[in-house]
Amino acid sequence: MKPLTLGGGTLLVIFPVGFDEKFIIRALVRKREGVDGLGPGDRLLAVVPEGYGKEERAVNAINSIKAIASPITGEDNVKILEVPPDGEDMVLKIAQAVRENLTTDRIVLAVLSGGMRPILVSTLLALLSVRDARVIVESDFENLSGHISLELGAFLAPPKRRWVMILCGLLKGWSVRKIAEDLGVSPATISNELKGILRYNLARAVTPNDRTPKYAVTEAGKLYLRLWGEGCHET
């Protein structure tokens, strides 16, 4: 699996749909680290309860989303996923749909701002089973005052002391060689650890002027340090 990157790639957007589409539409046009709204090749997956077509407000909400997204992504890239009321079956069906619809860049944006609460919970649980993907979870405040945006990688990555020390070194602007010297290991060992760190999107490779690659800590990596790296501060 290739390391995850922050460059603007294609993404899968998954969102439960209720009777109000405004939160979803706000998220679709929002800019975030390495993901600047919808683009050609992106895929949308609307999660709704079985029989949603009987509820006119839900149908209208989906049609409004399609009207905005389809001209950008293509009509075939906007899909509807009907899920059963059983909790386990709901989680499994969503997880399977996510795996089947991942783009080659393996970036997932989950907009958890609308829809039934069991579907919101089931969507989040299903995303915990997705491996080797960058998963961004967002939710808007009901009063439109703002939103939260967190990456699951910071929570799914194992709490390794060496990873904490490597990320701390990167925050200080240290090179791979300097970090290796500080930890008393070889640069090859640090490079091998970085493969895992990049897989969880805790850091990204930077190559200024085609020189030896350097690495920068991502927002997910900074959150990881807040979870596990006491006393680590950016300089």
Q: Each residue of 91-146: pLDDT tens digit?
A: 999 999 999 999 999 999 999 998 999 999 999 999 999 988 999 999 999 888 88
How far, in Å, CA of 197 to CA of 118, rounded?
A: 32
**Overall average pLDDT of the 190-207 stretch:** 92
pLDDT of 213 > 80? The answer is no
pLDDT number for residue 212? 72
Q: Lowest-confidence range among 34-43, 44-53, 173-182?
A: 34-43
Instruction: Delineate the domains of the chain, giving CATH numbers in brackets.
Output: 11-151 (3.40.50.11700), 156-228 (1.10.10.10)
**Overall average pLDDT of the 37-48 stretch:** 91
pLDDT number for residue 229? 80
How far, in Å, CA of 14 to CA of 123, rounded?
A: 8
3-state helix, strand, coil in the chain (%, to 5): 45, 20, 35
pLDDT in tens, 1-18: 344 444 457 899 999 998
Percentage with pLDDT > 70 across the chain: 92
Could you tell me the CA-to-CA distances from 180 to 184, 188, 221, 224 in Å, in that order?
A: 6, 8, 19, 20
Supply the DSSP string of 157-168, one letter for each residue: S---HHHHHHHH
How far, in Å, CA of 156 to CA of 182, rounded?
A: 27
pLDDT number for residue 233? 62
| Total-model pTM | 0.86
